[in-house]
Structure 1
Amino acid sequence: MKIGNWKKNGFEFLSIFIAVISAFALNNWNDNRRDSTSEQKILREIANGLVKDLEDVRGNEGGHKLGISASQYFKNILTDKPVDLDSLGIYYFIVTRDFVSIQNVAGYETLKSQGLELIKNDSLRLDIISLYEYDYQTLRKLEEEYSEIQFNENYFKEINQSLAPNFQFNADQNIVGIDLPINITTEKKKIILTYLWKIEKNRKFILQSYAQVETNINKVLEKINTELSE
């Protein structure tokens, strides 16, 4: 082979090699850019969902705290302690009320469909998985499946049978008062007091779970905001 041809062929090979490598590099850059854009979009979607989840968590926390106050209110009635009768209706409505755990999972489902590894930050990815797969599932099962926390199903009928005969109603059949001292047997009183005690203890238990979930949501939100600001 002549030197001129060797140089020519070598130059052509080098040009092709550089072109191929450049194409691979450009394709890889485009893939990384596309993944980065998708990651940021999904993180924003997850963050927006978490803000709504915080509202739901705090709403349920408030409901359970009011439920504890309702239990204490009727314990006072049963033990002949003074109460504000203007609060009778709302406390009776809430004393055995159950709640559902609502989570906005659209962003997380999108992430799973595109691959969890799309989140490059290992710590953030693990925290997101833990929040949705463990914390949210635990909270939902406590609220909707754990038998002791199904207050209406477990306790309303007997509490109502014991207290309702003492209620006062207006022309519209709304509860407006209660005959005091309440007419109830000692045996029934002890049973209802036991129910109210269990309701209060279980509401305090689930409030601990809500507090932990709220902490974890804020932790993930903080990490997402840091990731998006970089």
Structure 2
Amino acid sequence: MIKFFRKIRQKLLSENKFSKYLVYAVGEILLVVIGILIALQINNWNENRKIEKLELSLLKEMQENLRADIQDINTNIGYHERGIQSANIILQSFEKNLPYNDSLNKHYGKVPMIPRFLITENAYNSMNNAGMRIIQNDSLRNAITYHYESAFSFLMDWNEAEWNTQMQDHRELYRKHFKTFNFWGDLVPSDYDKLSKDQEYINYLNNRIGWLTPVIGMYKKNGIKRAEKLIELIDKELENREN
């Protein structure tokens, strides 16, 4: 192609057709410029396709991350509900002045269980690394940011506060009243009669019920419902992009 253009230029110059040569030269320059612009456009299109492909891939991955979070939250709720149930059983045995029964040991062990909320942030971290502008839909991008930076961040802070509180109780309360402490097993009281009348431990059980009840509600509202809503928003975005 280059040789072809060169022959045309040489022919025009040899025939002293300078004006035609200028017109041809300008046309050739325009042709080169158009070719460069087309190449740039194709390159930009390819880059945009890569970015869009990454965006859709990360959105699908985020849905899987959110489903894993919902499963983790449901597991934590189960622990909390069993903790409340066990605390009530222990309190009832104290109120009724029931004699010691080793069937209570499993309930002593369930009350202080502290499941950690392990948020799955693989997709969100990848979005941040790529730049959140990779999410083209402004409202979806804002919903994602709010979910991880506000709603789930609050859950993490609450869970951390619960962990720290319980660690303090373990050091001061459980070592005082139980022979051994096992996070996931039965606990054996050192002196059941003394424990059943210990106001500190009774207050602890009531406080544990009072603490875990709103935690469960918060997990359901700020955790599960928000995660399900975000999954739904991503579903709509993926459907719109595929149609």
TM-score, length of structure 1 as denominator length: 0.80
Q: 1:183 to 1:202 in 2, by over 3 A?
A: same
Shift of 1:152: 5.1
8 A contact 2:195–2:201 mirrored in 1:
no
Shift of 1:208: 2.4
Q: Which residue of 2 aligns with 1:202?
A: 211
Cα distance in 2 for residues equivalent to 1:213 and 1:144: 15
Q: Which residue of 2 aligns with 1:95?
A: 111
Q: Which residue of 1 aligns with 2:169?
A: 154
8 A contact 1:35–1:118 mirrored in 2:
yes
Q: Which residue of 2 aligns with 1:169?
A: none
Q: 1:185 to 1:220 in 2, by over 3 A?
A: closer
8 A contact 2:68–2:120 mirrored in 1:
yes
Out of 21, 29, 47, the position equivalent to 2:37 is 21
Shift of 1:103: 1.0
Cα distance in 1 for residues equivalent to 2:68 and 2:172: 34
Shift of 1:203: 0.5
Shift of 1:219: 1.2
Q: Which residue of 2 aligns with 1:225?
A: 235
Q: Which residue of 2 aligns with 1:78?
A: 94
Does the alignment pair 1:138 with 2:154? yes
Is there any run of 5+ residues in structure 1 with no aligned partner, and where? 166-173
Out of 49, 59, 62, the position equivalent to 2:65 is 49
8 A contact 2:65–2:121 mirrored in 1:
yes
SS in 1 for 2:56: helix
Does the alignment pair 1:193 with 2:202? yes
SS in 2 for 1:132: helix
Shift of 1:138: 1.8
Q: 1:175 to 1:145 in 2, by over 3 A?
A: closer
Out of 124, 135, 138, the position equivalent to 2:140 is 124
Cα distance in 1 for residues equivalent to 2:61 and 2:97: 51
Q: Which entry has the higher C-alpha Rg, 1 or 2?
A: 2
Is there any run of 5+ residues in structure 2 with no aligned partner, and where? 1-16, 180-185
Shift of 1:145: 3.0
Shift of 1:111: 1.2
Cα distance in 2 for residues equivalent to 1:87 and 1:153: 26
- Percent of residue pairs identical: 23
Kindly provide the amino acid, as one letter, of the partner of residue 58 in structure 2: I
Aligned Cα RMSD in Å? 3.0
Count the aligned residue pairs: 215
Does the alignment pair 1:36 with 2:36? no
SS in 1 for 2:193: coil
Does the alignment pair 1:8 with 2:24? yes
Cα distance in 2 for residues equivalent to 1:111 and 1:17: 36
